[in-house]
Chain A
Amino acid sequence: MKPAPFDFVRAATLAEALDALAQAGEDGRVLAGGQSFVPMLNMRLARPSVLVDIMGVADLRGIEVAKGALRIGAGVRQVELTRWADLTARLPLLAAAVPYIGHVQTRSRGTVCGSLAHADPSAELPLALIALEGEIHLRTKKAHRTVAARDFFLGMMATALRPGEMIEAVSFPLRRAGQGFGFREVARRHGDYAVVACAAVAGPQGIRLAVGGVGDVPTLRELPDPASGDLNEALNDFAWSLDAREDLHATPRYRRELVRRLGRDAIEEALRCRS
């Protein structure tokens, strides 16, 4: 299908983009790489009356280390993240997760922040941001605020973004000494949305596991060390707590089993590569 008609604003500066969004209010949407949003337009699941293209805004194209995190502007494409020279050394969890995001042909245009704004419960970038306890920087014409990842994702494809507000950047905390990371995913086909994806962080403060694809939002939980002997029981509790959904791809029971198995694998990997 084809998108329903909309007005189109190609913003050259952040101020222009924010002006256009403020004017459009509830009917305005940001267009960045379009790899999640244009399918919604084509299927007419989204029918905004104004679309604001932000890819011409130079200020949003930055990718830089700031305050112990990698700050990625709203105009940075996923392929640009994969080419950031320090990705494997400083953000190993993202380095492991990025190859699972869509395909080469969509990572070439899709943006990091666009995937967060789309908030698909199976998507890898929201999962990684939750696991790393990162932050999202939001902006309106009049104000800006920073929201913790756990407060940003409110439900299936629902976020804390308000009318007239846009994501300016996201901060992924960099690897700290003593941390290790693990990532596991099962999908029907490589590049498809995850049936279940698990991201583990093992550090001096303990072990955290984030699970995507099961509940409406990626969910983070502290878990015991496998050496304690309590991990299986804790993973089982976690799996049941997620209220797994039934869909074309998997039954709730299968999803719970994947949480138990992939969760354990991801945690063991995180412990192995703890530095």
Chain B
Amino acid sequence: MPKLTKSERYPVRFTLNGRPVEAWAEPRTLLTDVLRHGLGSTGTHVGCEHGVCGACTVEIDGEPARACLVLAGQVDGQAVRTVEGLEPEAGRLSVLQDAFRRHHGLQCGFCTPGILMTLDCLFRARPDADEAEIRDHLSGHLCRCTGYAPIMRAALDARDRFNQARREETHA
């Protein structure tokens, strides 16, 4: 059984937005710090660093999770998606991101990457999520600019557009 020694660095390997990555981390290093400092993926923001604000939310093996409450070593061999993985091609916003832009679902943008990841996970799992369910998922995030109303509008609009696109695909 391997025992990793404190204050030494070990390789951590996982896939980030579909691409295999390797970073060096101490046992105590948080996933947030590996993403931002080790891999330069600064799209994931760090707010409270104790799991309350939701800014650092990423997707781990298909589920939304707080990257600040995960040690880097815990994602070894797993699949992580971050806000950088949302755009369908370089320079083009996803349906969800575009809805946030049109509805002013962000102002300072600090909480936005986490909220996008939560909603992306939700709509992938449950494309028909109703308003109550969306609110329940958003309750894990703090936004101090918008008052949440434009975020809800963006989320509902994005959901409807996803479903419109799906219906068109089915009938085509």
CA distance A9 to B1 in the complex (A): 7
CA distance A93 to B68 in the complex (A): 31
B69 contacts A by Cβ under 8 Å = yes
One of A4, A20, A55 near B74 (C-beta < 8 A): A55
A105 touches B28 (CB 8 A): no
Q: Mark B133-144, 1 if CB is under 8 A from A, else 0.
A: 000110110000
B27 touches A6 (CB 8 A): yes
B1's nearest neighbour on chain A, judged by CB, is A16
One of B49, B54, B70 near A109 (C-beta < 8 A): B70
The verdict on A7 contacting B3 (CB below 8 Å), with A35-B51, A42-B49 known, is: yes
Q: Mark A76-93, 1 if CB is under 8 A from B, else 0.
A: 000100000000000000
One of B1, B26, B51, B71 near A106 (C-beta < 8 A): B51
B140 touches A105 (CB 8 A): yes
B140 touches A103 (CB 8 A): yes
Q: Mark A8-25, 1 if CB is under 8 A from B, else 0.
A: 111110001001100000
A5 touches B54 (CB 8 A): no
A31 touches B71 (CB 8 A): yes
B4 contacts A by Cβ under 8 Å = yes
Whole-angstrom distance from the CB of A42 to the nearest CB of chain B?
A: 5
**Which chain A residues numbered 104 to 143 have a C-beta less than 8 Å away from chain B?**
104-106, 108-109
- SS of B interface (majority): mixed
B156 contacts A by Cβ under 8 Å = no
One of B1, B64, B65 near A19 (C-beta < 8 A): B1
Q: Mark A51-93, 1 if CB is under 8 A from B, else 0.
A: 1010100000000000000000000000100000000000000
Whole-angstrom distance from the CB of A51 to the nearest CB of chain B?
A: 7
Using Cβ atoms and an 8 Å threshold, which residues of chain A touch B51? 35, 38-39, 106
A12 touches B1 (CB 8 A): yes
B69 touches A35 (CB 8 A): yes
The verdict on A106 contacting B4 (CB below 8 Å), with A8-B73, A10-B73, A190-B136 known, is: no
The verdict on A103 contacting B139 (CB below 8 Å), with A6-B6, A6-B28 known, is: yes
CA distance A106 to B139 in the complex (A): 12
B interface residues, tally (CB under 8 Å): 34
Using Cβ atoms and an 8 Å threshold, which residues of chain A touch B66? 35, 105-106, 109
B57 contacts A by Cβ under 8 Å = yes
B160 contacts A by Cβ under 8 Å = no
A2 touches B28 (CB 8 A): yes
CA distance A67 to B26 in the complex (A): 44
CA distance A104 to B54 in the complex (A): 11
One of B26, B30, B50, B122 near A5 (C-beta < 8 A): B26
The verdict on A5 contacting B7 (CB below 8 Å), with A35-B51, A105-B66 known, is: yes
A8 touches B4 (CB 8 A): yes
The verdict on A109 contacting B60 (CB below 8 Å), with A7-B5, A16-B1, A20-B1 known, is: yes
Using Cβ atoms and an 8 Å threshold, which residues of chain B touch A10? 1-2, 4, 73
B56's nearest neighbour on chain A, judged by CB, is A105
One of B7, B27, B139 near A51 (C-beta < 8 A): B27
A5 touches B28 (CB 8 A): yes
A43 contacts B by Cβ under 8 Å = yes
CA distance A55 to B66 in the complex (A): 17
A34 touches B74 (CB 8 A): yes
B50 touches A11 (CB 8 A): no
A191 contacts B by Cβ under 8 Å = yes
CA distance A7 to B10 in the complex (A): 12
Using Cβ atoms and an 8 Å threshold, which residues of chain B touch A1? 49
B118 contacts A by Cβ under 8 Å = yes
What are the 5 closest A-B residue pairs judged by CB atoms, nearest first?
A103-B140, A8-B27, A108-B63, A5-B6, A39-B50
Task: List residues of chain A with CB under 8 Å of any chain B CB.
Answer: 1-12, 16, 19-20, 31, 34-35, 38-39, 41-43, 49, 51, 53, 55, 79, 99, 102-106, 108-109, 189-191
